[in-house]
Amino acid sequence: MTALPRSQHIVASGHVAAVGVTVAYVSYTQEPAAAFLFPRMISTVFVVLALWTFGKALMGRTKVGNGLSNTAMKNILPGLVILLIYVFWAAKGLGFYTATTIAFFILLTLYDPAPHNEAKSWIKRIIITAGFLAVMYGLFAMLLSVFTPREIFF
C-alpha cells in the first residue's frame, strides 16, 4: 500500500472515529435517559467499530483499494451535500419525517439510473419513497418509541 492511500485511510477513519465519539458523548449526556436508549446503543457500536477501523489504519492493516478517485468523489459529493443539509438544518427545521422523505426522494432521484424523462420511473420513485417513510415511521414511532425532532410538519 502506498503512502497516499494509507494516509487517506488514517485521515478518513480518524474523522469517522471522532464523529462517533462525539455522537456517543452527546447521546450519553442528554436527558431524559429513556429517550436516548436507542441512540446510546447505536452510538456505542458505532464508536467500537470506528475505533477498530482507525486502529487498523494506523497499523497499516487496512485491506481496501487505493483510496477514492476523483470520479468517485464527484459521484459521492451530491449525496454529501444533501446529508449536510439534512443533518444541520432540515431534520430540525422541517421535522424528522418530512425532511427524511425529502432527502430520500432527492437521493433516490440523483442516484437512480432509471431515465428522468419517463413518468413510470417517477411513479416508482414516489412509491419507493412512500414505502421507505412507512417503514421509518413504523420502526421509530411505533416499534422503538424513539423521540424524533419535531417542528413544522411532524
d(CA 78, CA 10): 24
pTM of the model: 0.63
User: Do residues 56 and 110 lie in contact, with contact meaning Cβ atoms separated by under 8 Å?
Assistant: no
Residues 62, 95, single domain; the answer is no
Helix (H) or strand (E) holding 125: helix 119-137
Which residue range is the domain that position 46 belongs to? 1-67
Residues 108, 137, single domain; the answer is yes
Residues 86, 62, single domain; the answer is no
Residues 49, 118, single domain; the answer is no
Among residues 67, 98, 116, the one where a domain terminates is 67
- Cell 492493516 -> residue: 61
Query: How many other CB atoms are there within 10 angstroms of residue 40's CB atom?
Result: 15
pLDDT tens track, the chain, 154 positions: 455 567 778 888 899 999 989 988 988 888 877 777 778 888 999 999 999 999 998 888 776 666 678 888 899 999 999 999 998 888 778 888 888 999 999 999 999 999 999 999 999 999 999 999 999 888 877 777 776 666 555 4
d(CA 97, CA 116): 25
Residues 85, 141, single domain; the answer is yes
